[in-house]
Amino acid sequence: MSQIQINSFQDYQEAYQKSIENPSLFWGEIAEHFEWNKKWDNVLEYDWQKPETKWFVGGKLNITENCLDRHLATKGDQTAIIWEPNDPKEATQHVSYKELHSRVCAFANVLKNNNVKKGDRVCIYMPMVLELSIAVLACARIGAIHSVVFAGFSATALAARINDATCTVLLTADGGFRGKKTTPLKDIADEALKECPSIKRTIVYQRTHQKISWNTKIDTWWHEELKKVDDDCPAEIMDSEDMLFILYTSGSTGKPKGMVHTCGGYMVYATYSFQNVFQYKNNDIYWCTADIGWITGHSYIVYGPLCSGATTVMFEGVPSYPDFGRFWEICEKLKVTQFYTAPTAIRALAKHPSEFVTKYDLSNLKVLGTVGEPINEEAWHWYDDNVGKNNCPIVDTWWQTETGGMMISSLAGITKDKPTFATLPLPGIQPILLDDNGNELTETKAEGILAIKYPWPSLARTIYGNHERYKNVYFSAYPNHYFPGDGALRDAQGNYRITGRVDDVVIVSGHNLGTAPIENAINEHESIVESAVVGFPHDIKGNALYAYVITYNNVEENEDLTNEIRTLVAKTIGAIAKPDKIQFVKGLPKTRSGKIMRRILRKIASNDISNLGDVSTLLNPEIVKSIIDEKL
Ligand code: WT7
């Protein structure tokens, strides 16, 4: 697989040039390095008016043959996954490719025994145990579509996702360990399933051994099911454009969006980008600290690394437990060579004495990475000085759930990094900057709205069950371009720096949160008339949430109400979405057409009131002053 690696800057320039001049030739040659049951007829067919994108059209494959079977002859005994428990007193586990293959096949047979067929949707709501990776791969093995829901989400959020995809089977655990906390996953799932008629079976992995309730009609134990099967399970042959998985991401309006990724293009791009950005070499130990509940975990814990025959680390816990040295203790212990985490984690760790880092031997580290939000200068340098010892390139990787893989990033040691810049596009990626009217900014040095003007293999093909919304959100703002929702600037060398969202999505601790669903949750409260939620800068989380709420006439502001609002948000969406600040207001600044002027609210929340712009066009300009005066 290392044949698809770029080895020098010149190599990068040539690959990039070729990928632009002849994308089909370029990607066809990359795809030759994978296992296909049948070769594609056409590399790319697309029409972004519709919009429709197809890669490796007519090709047949199973991604798990690429992740597992292919390595058995050459790397069967090599470690595929190193699993590191939440509690350092529990043993680390090393799972070889051979063993992983066998365990995936066995669980795939469990799914079959429970009536899961190709095309069925399976919801996975699990902690970061090995079985989560096994479950994901087992679904792919038989052509079932996995929908992983992050185990920090509430019952309401879980139910909404199960129902949107009409999943028939739920895979969960009794509970999950994260730091000092135990999350009662089965209880939460039980609560969710009251609203989910499509679920016919829940397979429960025993992790915490806590007491749970049991519904004999639906529930069955994971370990009991495994006793009934063998580990022989031929891979289902999939079409390149068959769905591989659905993964939900928040939108700026109500419902989460079930992003659909397909088999062939996703496999090729996740693997190609993994190898090139991280420059993975034989015997390296690669660790991405993300949760598999996010796209980062899908592409860069499971699929990209395993397709590359890499050794990938899966960590159950959190960076702060048992203390703030946990990440570095693991890096030393496992001799980690590539380390990939989020700016929010870096900022949180940077608050603590540097001894938490310096006491560990990090000399095996070669590459550091970040993802999820812009990384500020200070955090970048802390990471570079303390973790990388100024000796490791830092890849700042810009991408999205929708893009399936890293889009703009330096390639470690090959192209130059630059603090706070994601830098250059990967081969095959054609970013451009637009002004507000959608005109391309052709000067190299420019700032504007980021867009992508040509298809790449791992683009999400649709929003599950709602192609119209897909078209509206991503392909309508600037016709014939993919619109990611971010702003960016470009320096004279062509390096991109992502400046943040240009829509109503706020990134809190690296989690992409739509403000609309949070507002909807708050508005459910009987005392609340209306609300507006915006982000404001926060030292550690990057952004935190600020909610402006209007209560009914006779309801006074009080602490109980504030707490109830927070609890309601946590229950509806998850604890991560709880507003840090809640301000009771008499009205919200609105345009004459009734749209809340979030721009003004953002400025007030950020204490940046010197330049509010012209408020006179508002329906209710006087409200702005009263909100400022009454700000806490
Ligand atoms: C949004 C996508 C990609 C996996 C994690 C988040 C922001 C992501 C960067 C970066 C600046 C970044 C963007 C993007 N973002 N990476 N390196 N620099 N911003 O995936 O939840 O789909 O969120 O995260 O705003 O649009 P996601």
**Does residue 594 surpass a pLDDT of 90?**
no
Protein residue closest via CA to atom 14 of ligand 1? 400
Which atom of ligand 1 is closest in space to residue 484's alpha carbon? Answer: 26
Q: Is the peptide bond before 322 cis (omega within 30 degrees of 0)?
A: yes
- At 392, give phi and psi (nearest 5°): -120, 130
The answer to whether 372 and 343 are in contact (CB under 8 A) is yes
Query: Ligand 1, from 250, 473, 498: best to mutate by most atoms within 8 Å of Cβ?
Result: 498
Query: What whole-number distance in Å separates Cα of residue 139 and Cα of residue 118?
Result: 9
Where do we find the tokens 């609105």? Answer: 590
- At 318, give phi and psi (nearest 5°): -125, 160
593 pLDDT band, cuts 50/70/90, is low
Residue-by-residue DSSP string for 518-552: HHHHHHTSTTEEEEEEEEEEETTTEEEEEEEEEE-
Query: What whole-number distance in Å separates Cα of residue 17 and Cα of residue 233?
Result: 42
Which atom of ligand 1 is closest in space to residue 406's alpha carbon? Answer: 3
Per-residue pLDDT reduced to its tens digit, 440-472: 999 999 999 999 999 999 999 999 999 999 999
pTM: 0.90
**Does residue 553 surpass a pLDDT of 70?**
yes
Query: Ligand 1, from 248, 250, 295, 373: best to mutate by most atoms within 8 Å of Cβ?
Result: 373
- Reduce the DSSP state of residue 67 to 3 states and report it: helix
Q: Is 339 left (phi over 0), alpha (psi -120 to 50) or beta?
A: beta
418 pLDDT band, cuts 50/70/90, is very high
- For residue 457, the model assigns a pLDDT of 98
Per-residue pLDDT reduced to its tens digit, 137-157: 999 999 999 999 999 999 999
Per-residue pLDDT reduced to its tens digit, 58-96: 999 999 999 999 999 999 999 999 999 999 999 999 999
Q: What is the DSSP-derived secondary structure letter of residue 147? A: E
252 pLDDT band, cuts 50/70/90, is low
Instruction: Calculate Rg over the CA atoms of the chain.
Output: 24
The answer to whether 84 and 91 are in contact (CB under 8 A) is no
How far away, in angstroms, is 237 Cα from ligand 1 center? 33
| Dihedral over alpha carbons 252, 253, 255, 258 (to 10 degrees) | -40
Query: Ligand 1, from 303, 347, 399: best to mutate by most atoms within 8 Å of Cβ?
Result: 399
How far away, in angstroms, is 400 Cα from ligand 1 center? 5
Where do we find the tokens 């496999």? Answer: 267
Where do we find the tokens 């969710």? Answer: 192
Per-residue pLDDT reduced to its tens digit, 354-391: 999 999 999 999 999 999 988 889 999 999 999 999 99
**Does residue 172 surpass a pLDDT of 90?**
yes
Alpha-carbon distances, residue 632 vs 60, 560, 597 (angstroms): 60, 17, 20
Which atom of ligand 1 is closest in space to residue 401's alpha carbon? Answer: 22
Protein residue closest via CA to atom 20 of ligand 1? 400
What share of the chain has pLDDT > 90, as a percent? 85
Q: Is the peptide bond before 579 cis (omega within 30 degrees of 0)?
A: no
250 pLDDT band, cuts 50/70/90, is confident
- Reduce the DSSP state of residue 38 to 3 states and report it: strand
Query: Parallel, antiparallel, or unpaired for β 496-501 and 52-57?
Result: unpaired
Query: What whole-number distance in Å separates Cα of residue 308 and Cα of residue 271?
Result: 6
**Does residue 301 surpass a pLDDT of 80?**
yes
- For residue 479, the model assigns a pLDDT of 87
Which atom of ligand 1 is closest in space to residue 505's alpha carbon? Answer: 25
- For residue 251, the model assigns a pLDDT of 67
**Does residue 552 surpass a pLDDT of 90?**
no
Could you list the beta-strand ranges (E) of 294-384: 311-315, 338-341, 367-371
Half-sphere exposure at residue 196, Cβ-oriented, CA atoms within 13 angstroms = 29
Half-sphere exposure at residue 34, Cβ-oriented, CA atoms within 13 angstroms = 36
Q: Where are the alpha helices (H) located in 227-334, listed in sequence order? A: 263-278, 295-297, 304-307, 326-334
Tokens read off for 245: 């998985």
- For residue 423, the model assigns a pLDDT of 98
- At 25, give phi and psi (nearest 5°): -65, -45
Pocket lined around ligand 1, Cβ cut-off 6 Å = 249, 294-296, 371-374, 396-401, 422, 484-486, 498, 501, 507, 512
Q: Domains of the chain by range and CATH? A: 2-112+122-253+263-452 (3.40.50.12780), 509-629 (3.30.300.30)
The answer to whether 177 and 86 are in contact (CB under 8 A) is yes
Per-residue pLDDT reduced to its tens digit, 306-331: 999 999 999 999 999 999 999 999 99
- Count of beta carbons in the 10 Å neighbourhood of residue 13: 14
- For residue 66, the model assigns a pLDDT of 98
Cα-based angle 582, 586, 589 (whole degrees, multiple of 5): 90
Protein residue closest via CA to atom 6 of ligand 1? 372
* Sheet arrangement for strand 581-584: 528-538, 542-551, 581-584
Residue 204: which of 128, 125, 147 has the closest Cα? 125
**Does residue 112 surpass a pLDDT of 80?**
yes
3-state secondary structure 149-191: CCCCECHHHHHHHHHHCCCCEEEEECCEEECCEEECHHHHHHH
What does pLDDT average to over the chain? 95
Residue 573: which of 34, 152, 29, 287 has the closest Cα? 152
How far away, in angstroms, is 339 Cα from ligand 1 center? 18
Q: Output helix, strand, coil percentages for the chain, rounded to the nearest 5.
A: 30, 25, 45
- For residue 426, the model assigns a pLDDT of 98
Mean pLDDT of 275-296: 97
Mean pLDDT of 226-251: 96
477 pLDDT band, cuts 50/70/90, is confident
Query: What whole-number distance in Å separates Cα of residue 121 and Cα of residue 276?
Result: 32
**Does residue 616 surpass a pLDDT of 80?**
no
Residue 231: which of 153, 146, 164, 134 has the closest Cα? 134
Which is it for the CA torsion 520, 523, 524, 529, positive or negative?
negative
Residues in the chain: 632
How far away, in angstroms, is 398 Cα from ligand 1 center? 6
Per-residue pLDDT reduced to its tens digit, 93-107: 999 999 999 999 999
- At 76, give phi and psi (nearest 5°): -50, -40
